[in-house]
Structure 1
Amino acid sequence: MEFDAIILAGGRSSRLGGVPKSRLIYDGATLLERSLRSAAAAGRTVVVGPDPGGLPVGVLSCREDPPFAGPAAAIAAGVGALAADYAGRPEAGYPAPFILVLACDMPRSAAAVRTLADALAASPADSPAVTPDGTTGSEGRDGVMAVSADGRKQPLLGFYSTAGLQRCAEDAARAGSLENASVFALLARLDVREVRVPSGSTDDVDTWDDASALGMSDRFPDLGPGTGPEFRS
Structure 2
Amino acid sequence: MSGYDAVVLAGGAARRLAGVDKPGLLVAGVSLLDRVLAAAAGAERIVVAGPRRNTRREVVWVREDPPGGGPVAALAAALPLVRAETVVLLAADLPFVPAALIDRLVAALEPAADRGGECAGAVAVDADGRDQILLAAYRTAALRAGVAALPEPAGAPLRRVVEPLALRRIRADSDAVFDCDTWADVRGARARSGRMDTAPTRRDMTGLEEWTEAVKQELGIELDVDIAALLDMTRVAAHNVQRPAAPLTSFLVGYAAASRGGGAAAVAEALRQARELAERAGAEPGAR
Q: For this structure pair, what is the TM-score category when the shorter chain's length is used for normalisation?
A: 0.7 to 0.9
Question: Are the equivalent residues in 2 in contact too, given 1:139–1:192 (CA < 8 A)?
Answer: no
- Name the aligned partner's letter for residue 48 of structure 1: A
- Name the aligned partner's letter for residue 123 of structure 1: A
Question: Are the equivalent residues in 1 in contact too, given 2:5–2:88 (CA < 8 A)?
Answer: yes
CA distance in 2, matches of 1:198, 1:170: 33
Residue 98 in structure 1 maps to residue 86 in structure 2: yes
- Alignment partner, residue 88 of structure 1: none
CA RMSD of aligned residues (A): 2.4
Select the residue among 185, 189, 198 that pairs with 2:160: 185
**SS of 1:6 mapped into structure 2:** strand
Question: Which segment drifts farther, 24-33 or 97-106?
Answer: 24-33
Tell which has more relative contact order, 1 or 2 (C-alpha 8 A, sep 6+). Answer: 1
CA distance in 2, matches of 1:139, 1:104: 31
Q: Note the 1:1-233 alignment, pairs <5 A.
A: 1-54=2-55, 56-57=57-58, 59-82=59-82, 95-110=83-98, 111-121=100-110, 123-125=113-115, 139=117, 141-172=119-150, 175-176=151-152, 178-215=153-190, 218=213, 219-221=222-224, 225=261
CA distance in 2, matches of 1:150, 1:41: 28
CA 1:139–1:38 in 2, change beyond 3 Å: closer, same or farther? farther
- Name the aligned partner's letter for residue 38 of structure 2: R
Percent identity over paired residues: 36
- For each residue in 1:95-149, what CA deviation from the matched residue of structure 2 results, as whole angstroms up to 9, or x when unmatched? 2110000001111112532332343345145xxxxxxxxxxxx745212011112
CA 1:54–1:36 in 2, change beyond 3 Å: closer, same or farther? closer
CA distance in 1, matches of 2:66, 2:187: 31
- Name the aligned partner's letter for residue 17 of structure 2: L
- Alignment partner, residue 128 of structure 1: none
Q: CA deviation at 1:78?
A: 1.0
Give the TM-score of the pair, scaled to structure 2.
0.63
**SS of 1:213 mapped into structure 2:** helix
Task: Count the aligned residue pairs.
Answer: 200
Q: CA deviation at 1:63?
A: 0.8
Give the TM-score of the pair, scaled to structure 1.
0.77
Q: CA deviation at 1:48?
A: 0.4
CA distance in 2, matches of 1:226, 1:209: 28
CA distance in 2, matches of 1:109, 1:139: 28
- Which protein has the larger Cα radius of gyration, Structure 1 or Structure 2? 2
Where does the alignment leave 5 or more consecutive residues of structure 2 unmatched?
192-208, 214-221, 226-256, 265-288
CA distance in 2, matches of 1:150, 1:112: 18
Question: Which segment drifts farther, 138-147 or 192-201?
Answer: 138-147
